């Protein structure tokens, strides 16, 4: 349950965001409602997400897994729900998204995808547990530009998921029939594991 009012002032900006949200997603996104209490934060969020949507060095499938991995590790059900719905609309394999909470036990992922999920999880941990070997593998396989984008996307999803979780936002039912369960806690690293998109911190305008 949201921890602050979901009824922001009926300003021109909030009415415009509400119109766009309903037109694009069929409902007003809850993050837009809470950010609507602070116009400058809302505007900054919208501009930032528009910029993030233009990043194009990282494969969309890897980007979706990185975002989902971070959201699951944090336990943000709103981000998991919306991210699943949005990623499947972009052609990302649904089963790979559903298996993110137990990716170490799933046989669906390539070595590179497993590395991406491990990196997202390690970055999201507090404190981060990123290891040099993992970074070296990712840079070798992705290149430096895509690796920087991967790192930025995990950081962006941390901002989104931590903000939404702190505000008490939960799933809006984008994927009622098949919601990915948020992890209760980060699983311990498995040394035998193979080396396995939008919206804003509040996804006020959706993810690009």
pLDDT at position 201 is 41
Question: CB–CB of 72/180 below 8 Å?
Answer: yes
Q: Are 193 and 114 in contact (CB under 8 A)?
A: yes
The CB-based long-range contact list for 171-176 (8 Å cut-off, 24+ gap) reads 171/77, 171/78, 171/80, 171/81, 172/27, 172/29, 172/30, 172/78, 172/81, 172/82, 173/81, 174/25, 174/81, 174/82, 174/84, 174/85, 174/86, 175/81, 175/84, 175/85
- Burial grade of 7 (CB within 10 A; 0-12, 13-18, 19 or more): exposed
pLDDT of residue 176: 72
Condensed to tens digits (0 to 9), the pLDDT of residues 134-162 reads 999 999 999 999 999 999 999 999 999 99
pLDDT of residue 175: 80
Q: What is the pLDDT along the chain (208 residues), one digit of tens a residue?
A: 899 999 999 999 999 999 999 999 999 999 999 999 999 999 999 999 999 999 999 999 999 999 999 999 999 999 999 999 999 998 999 999 999 999 999 999 999 999 999 999 999 999 999 999 999 999 999 999 999 999 999 999 999 999 999 999 999 999 874 444 555 444 333 323 333 233 444 566 566 4
User: In angstroms, rounded to a whole number, what is the distance separating the alpha carbons of residues 149 and 138?
Assistant: 12
pLDDT of residue 190: 34
Our separate counts of H helices and E strands in the chain read 9, 0
Whether 161 and 169 have beta carbons less than 8 Å apart is answered as no
Question: What Cα–Cα distance (Å) separates residue 152 from each residue in 35, 49, 99?
Answer: 22, 12, 23
CA nearest neighbour of 56 among 205, 197, 201: 197
Please give the pLDDT value at position 47: 97
User: Among residues 196, 204, 200, which one has the least CA distance to residue 67?
Assistant: 200
């Amino acid at each position: 349950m949201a921890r602050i009012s979901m009824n922001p002032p009926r300003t021109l900006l909030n009415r415009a965001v509400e119109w766009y949200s309903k037109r694009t997603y069929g409902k007003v996104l809850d993050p837009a409602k809470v950010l609507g209490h602070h116009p400058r934060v809302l505007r900054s969020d919208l501009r930032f997400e528009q910029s993030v949507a233009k990043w194009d060095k990282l494969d969309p499938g890897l980007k979706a897994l990185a975002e989902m991995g971070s959201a699951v590790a944090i336990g943000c059900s709103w981000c998991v729900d919306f991210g699943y719905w949005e990623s499947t609309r972009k052609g990302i394999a649904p089963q790979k998204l559903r298996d993110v909470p137990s990716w170490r036990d799933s046989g669906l992922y390539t070595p590179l995808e497993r590395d991406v999920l491990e990196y997202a999880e390690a970055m999201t941990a507090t404190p981060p547990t990123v290891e040099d070997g993992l970074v070296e593998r990712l840079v070798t396989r992705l290149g430096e530009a895509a690796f920087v984008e991967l790192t930025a996307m995990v950081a962006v999803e941390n901002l989104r998921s931590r903000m939404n979780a702190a505000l008490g936002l939960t799933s809006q039912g984008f994927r009622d029939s098949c919601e990915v369960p948020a992890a209760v806690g980060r699983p311990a690293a498995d040394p035998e594991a193979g080396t396995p998109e939008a919206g804003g911190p509040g996804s006020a305008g959706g993810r690009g």
